[in-house]
Chain A
């Protein structure tokens, strides 16, 4: 018969052995992170996305007490960076930036090595990509209505430029054109760096761009904003109305979000979401982003975003089919 001492030993050893079977996520979330986290950025340094990611990364690093190491993996409109996130180990030590088109639009245009609906564990949205329709500063139109009117009277003559085919900038104009039965033509460019000079020089009559890209030109009067295609008006030009206000039932919805590879333990994902949510809801940080880099910080939960992506995916599947841009 085992004495008390022996029983205690057996009991302790059993307990100890059993403890190895405790699901590790609980242990991990308390310790996480114990080493630097890679932050994959899908655009080149100097772009708004990159600046947002790095600045946010700094703030979050302080909170987590481990550095967020930015790694730029560019190309394919963001798909290369996203593919990199998905291939990484789902241990919570690799996360990255995702721009919505890589999940909702591009998969319909080309075969990608990932499943956009299943391979990402969304952390949360950090910023909406906001855009507006602009024309040359001395153009004769001062509102969206005037521009559309002109397009109606001059079919085939009005051109709208975009930073690339399949971007939401391109597609929003196609959508408006289809809804109103307008014959306006899309002229594709590679990025704002080519598009803006084209509008300034008059080769293309309009473009759709972000506040960061347009700010200096609008302030100098070389370009003017006809309508803002994001959900809310811009704080920088509060007098310019939004599409929604004009009666359209949609807006150019695109977001910058953070994600981790699917399979990342939920407690870790939740911790990241909480920390980031706190950071982007900080009014001082929001103000800094808005004033210095013309970016808006907005939180949307990972759960909600996942649903949103699902909806957008289906929408674009049909939409792209009707305009013949599917693979």
Chain B
């Protein structure tokens, strides 16, 4: 079989000592910057670009790719330990991961995140290996109407994110939508709600927003308590996931992988949305949805698998079509051009040794990451023992550096601090951050695709139902909405909780 030949070719290239070396450096660096909040693969890859011209293209891409998917492993670490999302795609991990840490279960949380990431990465690589072309073709069929319907679907799922009061969650969602509309309007080019601040022409940055909303606010809340007490009083129980954890989580991992893989291929969707969707799916299928937000391991396993799967999935359109679905892959595309490898539909045909070599090294890289991350767990857990008066200034400093380094901009630092204050107030009054973030991410996609669809159809709404994929998605969304109402009706008993 042809593919087997290619895989052997890949092994020949991927297993060369020099490539193994660069793979290791890549994933190591990736883990490190994934852990550091704010600084992401984008910054690091761009900085290393000029240096990589000196080594062979295969080795260079192996290393840079390693940084990219390696960062997805590291991002969950700070989310779990100190409630700071290391990457935007790790926001959801904060929800239950941090709660697990507070209960002394940081080890299992970190462990399941690493294992889930490994499984998801490997499985989606298999997808990349065998299903690259059919999937790309399918992805191309997604036009504005399909995207819009998908976003409607995601918004409806959003309602499941609510842990407490439904009204408050919806208020947060609306707030998130409003925040997302700050910036330039895509159709007319006019500025909305920017008050003539130039730095707002692209809107609020997602990463400073989540760092402030979750990370800084957490510090502010904790500071109020008497500092002499340790914040985490509970004893740190086990360092690795138990068998019970594993049985609960394995399905979450599988579901997360599939969700992440699909959403990663679609340009613009990416790890953030897949992690959110995975979380809400887990909550929905769980037998104890009300416990989500208190430390359910599926709430960590699913999203972490999803974001890794979508990171790997993003390579599909990059390699098969030469189209990068997100910023990081866009830089990799630039790198390919610099190296003289023309990305595009002919890349795989013209340079099979390159393509398969990189694929095989990704398998190896995922394995390395697992071996790297697991033994580091006891180390990471020690971080929790550092007395808070010493820890919190460091957390703040890392956040400040992180937010600045995104685009060398002090404005981003201000955005982060601002949302830190917002997040602090929200916590005080029992509003949740997750619906806000989800809506903030979805808002632009929803609006842009709605307006594009209407331009294309000349104003007619029928376009959403005449195109099959869009129609199916909307119908499923509608059915989902109906079923929520029906379940709520059934559950209607007098309770002291505020629920619609």
Contact = CB atoms under 8 A, between A and B. Distances in A.
A28 interface: no
Contacts of B141: 201
B381 interface: no
A219 B322 CA distance: 12
A165 interface: yes
Contact of B347 (A46, A83, A216): A216
Contact of B334 (A46, A185, A198): A46
B344 A193 contact: no
A79 to B, nearest CB: 6
A216 B343 contact: yes
Contact of A51 (B186, B327, B338): B338
A104 interface: no
B331 interface: yes
Contacts of B47: 45
Contact of B325 (A44, A76, A157, A193): A193
Contact of A186 (B50, B144, B333, B455): B455
A interface, size bucket: 35 or more
Interface string A172-214: 0000000000000111111001101110111110000000100
B46 interface: yes
Contacts of B345: 216-217, 220, 222
A203 B141 CA distance: 8
A77 B143 CA distance: 24
Contacts of B199: 75-76, 80
B332 to A, nearest CB: 8
B342 interface: yes
B494 interface: no
B324 interface: yes
A46 B335 contact: yes
A26 B456 CA distance: 60
Given A76-B201, A193-B330, A292 B143 contact: no
Interface in B186-215: 186-191, 194, 196, 198-199, 201-202
A327 interface: yes
Contacts of A198: 143-144
A200 B321 contact: yes
A115 to B, nearest CB: 14
A181 B189 CA distance: 23
B468 to A, nearest CB: 14
Contacts of A202: 143
Contacts of B139: 197
B320 to A, nearest CB: 11
B317 A75 contact: no
B331 A46 contact: yes
In this complex, the member of A74, A109, A188 whose beta carbon has the largest number of chain B beta carbons within 10 angstroms is A188
Given A73-B409, A80-B199, A203-B144, A51 B334 contact: yes
B202 A159 contact: no
B408 interface: yes
In this complex, the member of B139, B323, B338 whose beta carbon has the largest number of chain A beta carbons within 10 angstroms is B323
B378 interface: no
A10 interface: no
B189 A325 contact: yes
B152 to A, nearest CB: 18
B267 interface: yes
Contacts of A79: 198, 201
Contacts of A325: 188-190
A112 interface: yes
B137 to A, nearest CB: 9
A110 B198 CA distance: 9
B324 A193 contact: yes
A244 interface: no
Nearest to A71: B408
Interface in A38-94: 44-47, 50-51, 54, 71-77, 79-80, 83
Contacts of B324: 193
A111 interface: yes
Given A113-B198, A219-B346, A166 B334 contact: no
Interface in A230-264: none
Contacts of A113: 198
Nearest to B329: A193
Contacts of B325: 193
B132 to A, nearest CB: 15
A72 B324 CA distance: 20
Interface in B327-357: 327, 330-335, 337-338, 340, 342-347
B408 A215 contact: no
Given A156-B458, A187-B455, A75 B140 contact: no
Contacts of B407: 72-75
A30 interface: no
Interface string A142-182: 00000000000000110100001110000000000000000
B344 to A, nearest CB: 2
Contacts of B332: 46
B452 interface: yes
Given A45-B331, A203-B143, A193 B323 contact: yes
Given A80-B198, A217-B345, A293 B337 contact: yes
A80 to B, nearest CB: 6
A45 B49 contact: yes
B127 interface: no
Contacts of A164: 186, 189
Contact of B322 (A189, A204, A217): A217
Nearest to A74: B407
Contacts of B189: 109, 164-166, 325
Contacts of B334: 45-47, 50-51
Contacts of A197: 139-140, 267, 317, 321, 323
B241 to A, nearest CB: 38
B186 A44 contact: no
Contacts of A156: 458
Contacts of A54: 50
B344 A187 contact: no
Contact of B140 (A188, A200, A327): A200
Contact of A111 (B144, B196, B343, B408): B196
B337 A212 contact: yes
A69 to B, nearest CB: 12
Given A187-B452, A219-B346, A83 B186 contact: no
Q: Closest 3 interchain pairs by CB?
A: A216-B344, A46-B334, A45-B46
15 contacts: A45-B46, A50-B334, A51-B337, A77-B201, A110-B194, A166-B189, A193-B325, A197-B139, A197-B317, A197-B323, A200-B321, A201-B140, A203-B452, A212-B337, A220-B346
Given A201-B141, A216-B345, 17 more contacts: A44-B42, A44-B46, A46-B49, A50-B334, A75-B201, A110-B201, A165-B189, A188-B187, A188-B448, A188-B452, A190-B268, A193-B325, A198-B143, A200-B323, A201-B140, A203-B144, A292-B338
